[in-house]
Structure formats: C-alpha cells, structure tokens
Amino acid sequence: MQLFIEQSLNALQMSFTLFLLATGLTLIFGIMGLINLAHGSLYMVGAFVGTTVALKSGSFLLGVGGGIVGGALAGVVLELAVFRRLYAQDHLHQVLATFGIILFANEATTLLWGRAPLLVEVPGWLNGSVKLMDGLSYPVYRLAVMAVGAAVAVGLHLLVVHTRLGMLIRAGASDRAMVAALGVDVSKLYTVVFALGAGLAGLAGILAAPIQSTQIGMGEQILILTFVVVVVGGVGSIKGAFAGAVLIAFVDTLGRAYVPGLFKLVLSSTVADALGTSVASVAIYLVMAIVLIVRPEGLIPEAR
C-alpha cells in the first residue's frame, strides 16, 4: 500500500509537469495548426535559463521567473523568425523545420552552457519531507510542484473561459478566418498564444530541474510523452490536456513500478526485469491506441 501511494503521488507530480507542456502544445496546434516538435527545446531553454538565474542569484524563485521569461522570449523569437512562415505550409514542412530547430537549439545551448549538466538544489524552505503515514514520507518540493500545477490549471481555466483573450483563443481555434474578418490582429494573437505556451514549457523545465539534472537534449526525452498526452486528451483542449496528462502519467509510472514484479511471478528475475520494462514502456502507446479507437477526437475534445 505504501508503494502504491508513493508511486501514485509521483504520477500525480509527473502529470502536472506533462500538463504544463501539453497545454502549450495543444493551444499552438489547436489555434495555429502548427506541429511544433521544438516545444521540448523551449522546456530545455526554460530549465537552463532558470537554473542559471537560480545559481547566480541564490534565489530559486528568481530562477522560476527566469525560466518562464526565458521560455516565453525564446518562443516569441521563434514565432516571429520561423513559425510565421510555416503556418501556411503542410505538416511535413512543419515537422522538418521544427526538427531542424531541435538540432539548432541543442547546439546553441551547448555553445552557451557546455555539455556538462547543471545541478540546482531544492531551496531550503522547500527541502525536507512530509509524513503522510507510518513509514511513508513524501518530499515537500514534489508537493509544491503539484500545487503550482494545480494553480496554473485553475488560472488557465479562468483565462480561457472568463477573459477577452480567452474568448479570442477559443474563437481562433474554431474559425481563424472569421476572427480575422472581425478585425482581430491574428498575427498578434498567435504571438501571444505562442508566448503563453512557451512560458508554460519554461516553467515546467525549471520546476523539473531540481528533480532531474538540466542537460542537453532533455526536451526530446519528454516531448514524446507530451504528444501522447495531447492526442489522448484531445487536440486544442486544455481540459483534455489535463485528463490526458493524468492518465498517461499514472499508466507510465505505475506500469514501471508494478509490471516487472508481475512478470517475476512466472519468469526469472533477469528476464522479468527486461520484459517488464519493455512492456511498461509501450503501455502508454497501447492506451493511446485504445483511446483513439473508442474516442478518435480524444477524451475531452475541444467544442467546435
């Protein structure tokens, strides 16, 4: 029971990280129709900038702000310099161009920071653990990440549902041509949405930095999971991104924790570990396939 609770909390923390990434990705694709493979690079930029600010200033909160601003600025620069030329292109051109950006971002980051990973410690006021039950304590920092993710989820809901910008985002996702015909500067709207999505990716990057090292290529490691979340939840849907993030995080985390043990009941430890790890790795794709068969538009598709 203790293992299940601990792994469930780990899955919940992972789900909020995936949600921060998936929200930006699903907004960008839902409104602009852009397949952005470089979204993971914005996550990496946010982690590197935020970690650097935190190490130089000695303040993790400043580092969080640096991660958000760094990711948002990088997103705006890419949107103005590259992505505006891709909106009218087919998805193959978008995939090739954004894959090229991944390579460029990795090399540029290497030139600026080097290949050695950057390490930032959990701030003292978030260090330590909370006792949940006898024999089970859980890190305060991971609970704080969950709280930040929940606050962002509520904030995004309020933004999209109760503000003029949110109305324009929803309208742009439904009918871009009509929004432009009503006098809205669609180019500025695209830039704002891209900055929002990139800022959330940067936030996810700096929040993950104390848990895992900040290193070159870290964006690609989580990008595939993020795309699965977007597809499972429903493209263009923030609610769907949250539902998909929770489902995929729990399947991935609990699968890796329990599947190898189940195989050990009938196989040797060596074979069970290898086979169980492989099966756990593909579990999220099986879930995605099942969801697409049952609900091709995702769990909670965007209302049209």
- Domain assignments of the chain as residue spans, ordered by start: 2-216
Residue 126 corresponds to which tokens in the numbers above?
Answer: 């978030």
pTM here is: 0.90
Q: Which residue in 226, 202, 225 sits closest to 214, CA to CA? A: 202
Q: Which residues pair with 131 in a beta bridge?
A: 137
Q: Which residues pair with 138 in a beta bridge?
A: 130
Give the per-residue pLDDT at 258: 84
> How many other C-beta atoms are found inside a 10 Å radius of the C-beta of residue 239?
18
* Per-residue confidence in pLDDT tens, the chain, 304 aa: 777 888 899 999 999 999 999 988 888 887 777 888 899 999 999 999 999 999 999 899 999 999 999 999 999 999 999 888 888 888 888 999 999 999 999 999 999 999 999 989 888 888 888 888 777 888 999 999 999 999 998 998 888 888 888 787 777 666 677 777 777 777 888 888 889 999 999 999 999 999 888 999 898 888 889 999 999 998 878 888 999 999 999 999 988 888 878 877 777 777 777 787 788 788 899 999 999 999 988 888 876 5
Residue 143 corresponds to which tokens in the numbers above?
Answer: 């609970």
Q: What's CA 243's distance to the chain center, in Å?
A: 13
Strand extents, DSSP E, the chain: 129-133, 136-139
Give the per-residue pLDDT at 303: 62
Q: What is the 3-state secondary structure (H, E, C) of 116-182?
A: CCECCCCCHHHCCEEEEECCEEEEHHHHHHHHHHHHHHHHHHHHHHHCHHHHHHHHHHHCHHHHHHC
Give the per-residue pLDDT at 56: 93
Cβ–Cβ under 8 Å, residues 249 and 257: no
